[in-house]
Amino acid sequence: MDSIENYIEKEFGTVIKVEPIQELWSGYGQIKRLWTDNSRVKSVIVKQISVPEKVAHPKGWNTPLSHQRKMQSYEVESYWYAHYANSSTARLPKFYKRLHQGNSHTIVMEDLDSEGLNLCLSNASIEEMRPCIEWLAKFHAKFLGTTPKGLWPVGSYWHLSTRPDELEKTEEIPTKLTASLIDKSLSKAKYQTIIHGDAKLANFCFSPDRLSVAAVDFQYVGGGCGMKDLAYFVSSCLTSDQCFELEERILSIYFEALKSSLDKQANFDELEREWRQLYPYAWADFYRFLKGWSPEHWKVHEYSRQMALKAQRSVLSELLETATGAAKLAGDIIQTSNKYKLFKKDAPSAASEVVTEIDYKAEKAILRALAECSNHYDFGIITEESQDDGTRFNKDYFWCVDPLDGTLAFTEGRPGHAVSIALVEKGGPPILGVVFDPVRNNLYHATVSGGSFKNGIPFLISKSPKSKVKLYADNSLKNEDNYEELRSTYEIHFGAGAVMNCISCIEDAPAKYIKFPKVSKGGGSIWDFAAASLIVNEAGGSATDYYGAPLDLNRKDSTYLNHRGVLISSV
């Protein structure tokens, strides 16, 4: 502190009083007010950060990652004040000096109290929120299109890449599985700015008349969509009912202020359309963090849940439209192809070694249709007819495609073939599945926790009484030692590919489709079951491995499922 006091005495005058203001979160330092004998600058604020001997996080998140994140946040804040703060047109403390000594950071800045911004609110009406909302708009307008050099690449303290522990703790499956999609939608928006990253009500200092504000605490300042700041600020002020009631008014205040602050050359109408659409995504992004960090938090309420659900449905609907279009394109190629060449490939069974030029044409059409979406979201991909490039292991999601499942049935002119497209989360669960039966022109689809649909109509298993449960199978079943026992127990049906066997189980319940575990390769591949398994599960059936565990749809050492087998059931 001596060197800082020396600086203050040199620049402003003798320090006559030191007043502690507050301890920093988890014991990482403190904020002090230093009084001087200077009549022009009577006091300054000193924020001093030092590594605590023992971290005491109030919710127990004491990990090396949380410590690293906290220390980086202070480095970012220091850089922000030194390189950006004094160019802001939105009011914030003037920057005077920063000092680094090892892991210690000290920032000297303007004392807003002495400038008449000395009021902090614990709650606010919509009119008291207005100057804060307008501050955010002015701030975002100033830094629109600015590259966040030296700051967080993506601002906000809840950013997904910095919160893997909280994501792992999240118990809501749709929230967990769509987290990266929501994050990418925000971070890849056309219009990016610098966001405050922690713009809660407590970080705004008001004038006594509550008409003017300044913002403080820039530890998580960085790049992003302005809606992240707005959603987070609103969450710190309003109850669920108030959020519903005041949503449009809040957005109107923000965008009116943004328009008046923007450069005339900016395409405001386009920006407003994009950011309004992303407002639910911003809520969903913060909701995801809360559900892992503190699921009983007061901000986890009906409005935040509804906004998260809206964003999840929106992003999945967009992807579903892409996958559906791709499946139909492939289906058209399949149905209009009367002449084609037959090929053979290395495969564990006679049925799977057959491939036609139609398989390749259908695959090419699907890949073209998925390309733009894949590039935007940075998806991996695996298809039956192409070499596995390994992207499914290092991307958050990957497309899993079988352009023509049931090729043998197709070549023999029988029903039983289909197009299958799934989007699979890297941990293995499919979050979206599309199956198109080109013979009957039936389109099946499902999204995680969103239900199954047939030709756009909700589809649930309807069981009819039968003397025997149907068992759908391929010819390999005849080689099983217990085949005769199975014949006496089930009404067995052969001839279709794996995908349509799964669909038949839910179309003609009660029924099963079994692939027994075996040592040799085969037993179906991940592209045979990725889409169909989700459709079956969402329709009320069961799609598991033979032992009842979830299917391993991103198997590291193979694309085959022989190691655990497959059991599809609507019994």
- pLDDT tens-digit readout, 197-228: 999 999 999 999 999 999 999 999 999 999 99
Structural domains in the chain (count): 4
490 and 393 within one domain: no
Judge whether 305 lies within some domain. Answer: no
Residue 443 and residue 203: Cα distance in Å, rounded? 51
| Residue 223 near residue 161 (C-beta atoms within 8 A) | no
Helix, strand, coil distribution of the chain in percent, nearest 5: 45, 20, 35
130 and 111 within one domain: no
From 173-182, 339-348, 443-452, the region with the lowest mean pLDDT = 339-348
Q: Is the pLDDT of residue 517 over 60?
A: yes
Judge whether 500 lies within some domain. Answer: yes
Q: Is the pLDDT of residue 75 over 70?
A: yes
Strands of the sheet containing 15-23, edge to edge, are 15-23, 29-36, 43-49, 104-110, 95-101
Q: Is the pLDDT of residue 53 over 70?
A: no
Distance spanning both ends of the chain, measured CA to CA = 73
Query: What's residue 40's pLDDT?
Result: 85
Q: Is the pLDDT of residue 350 over 70?
A: no
Mean of pLDDT over the chain: 92
Residue 168 and residue 181: Cα distance in Å, rounded? 16
Cβ-based neighbours of 522, under 8 Å, separated by 6 or more:
348, 349, 352, 476, 560, 562
Judge whether 463 lies within some domain. Answer: no
The helix (run of H) or strand (run of E) holding residue 203 is none
265 and 151 within one domain: yes
Query: What's residue 505's pLDDT?
Result: 96
Q: What is the pLDDT of residues 225-268, one digit of tens each?
A: 999 999 999 999 999 999 999 999 999 999 999 999 998 778 99
pLDDT: is 55 or 498 the higher one? 498
396 and 281 within one domain: no
Last residue of a domain, one of 115, 139, 163: 115
Query: What's residue 349's pLDDT?
Result: 46
Residue 75 and residue 47: Cα distance in Å, rounded? 12
Residue 159 and residue 220: Cα distance in Å, rounded? 9
Nearest to 499 by CA among 282, 302, 352, 338: 352
Domain range spanning residue 355? 314-458
Residue 236 and residue 517: Cα distance in Å, rounded? 53
Q: What is the pLDDT of residues 107-137, one digit of tens each?
A: 999 999 999 999 999 999 999 999 999 999 9
3 and 32 within one domain: yes
Judge whether 309 lies within some domain. Answer: no
From 47-56, 432-441, 450-459, 506-515, the region with the lowest mean pLDDT = 47-56
545 and 520 within one domain: yes
166 and 296 within one domain: yes
| Residue 430 near residue 530 (C-beta atoms within 8 A) | yes
Segment 542-558 shows an average pLDDT of 95
Token pair of 12, please?
A: 């402003």
Judge whether 307 lies within some domain. Answer: no
Segment 541-564 shows an average pLDDT of 94
Q: How many CA atoms lie within 13 A of 443 on its CB side?
A: 17
Q: Is the pLDDT of residue 1 over 70?
A: no
Beta bridge partners of residue 425, listed in sequence order? 397
User: pLDDT band at residue 60, thresholds of 50, 70 and 90?
Assistant: low
Nearest to 439 by CA among 495, 386, 401, 383: 495
User: pLDDT band at residue 300, thresholds of 50, 70 and 90?
Assistant: very high
- What CATH number does residue 422 fall under? 3.30.540.10
User: pLDDT band at residue 304, thresholds of 50, 70 and 90?
Assistant: very high
Residue 444 and residue 513: Cα distance in Å, rounded? 18
Q: pTM of this prediction?
A: 0.89
Nearest to 518 by CA among 496, 552, 486, 546: 546
User: pLDDT band at residue 354, thresholds of 50, 70 and 90?
Assistant: low
The helix (run of H) or strand (run of E) holding residue 408 is helix 407-411
In 3-state terms, what secondary structure has residue 36? strand
Residue 280 and residue 49: Cα distance in Å, rounded? 35
480 and 444 within one domain: no
The helix (run of H) or strand (run of E) holding residue 470 is strand 469-472
Query: What's residue 46's pLDDT?
Result: 94
Judge whether 516 lies within some domain. Answer: yes
Query: What's residue 2's pLDDT?
Result: 63
Q: What is the DSSP string of 536-565?
A: HHHTT-EEE-TTSSPP-TT-SS-SB-TTT-
Query: What's residue 50's pLDDT?
Result: 83
Tell which phi-psi region holds residue 224, choosing left (phi > 0), alpha (psi between -120 and 50) or beta.
left
- What CATH number does residue 512 fall under? 3.40.190.80
Q: Is the pLDDT of residue 102 over 80?
A: no
| Residue 168 near residue 65 (C-beta atoms within 8 A) | no
From 366-370, 377-381, 516-520, the region with the lowest mean pLDDT = 516-520
Last residue of a domain, one of 438, 458, 478: 458
> Which percentage of the chain shows pLDDT scores above 90?
75
| Residue 406 near residue 496 (C-beta atoms within 8 A) | yes
271 and 130 within one domain: yes
103 and 59 within one domain: yes
Judge whether 11 lies within some domain. Answer: yes
Pairing of strands 511-515, 566-569: antiparallel
Judge whether 464 lies within some domain. Answer: no
Segment 564-568 shows an average pLDDT of 96
Last residue of a domain, one of 250, 265, 300: 300
417 and 328 within one domain: yes
Q: Is the pLDDT of residue 27 over 60?
A: yes
- What CATH number does residue 21 fall under? 3.30.200.20
- What CATH number does residue 176 fall under? 3.90.1200.10
Q: Is the pLDDT of residue 26 over 80?
A: no
> Which percentage of the chain shows pLDDT scores above 70?
95
167 and 219 within one domain: yes
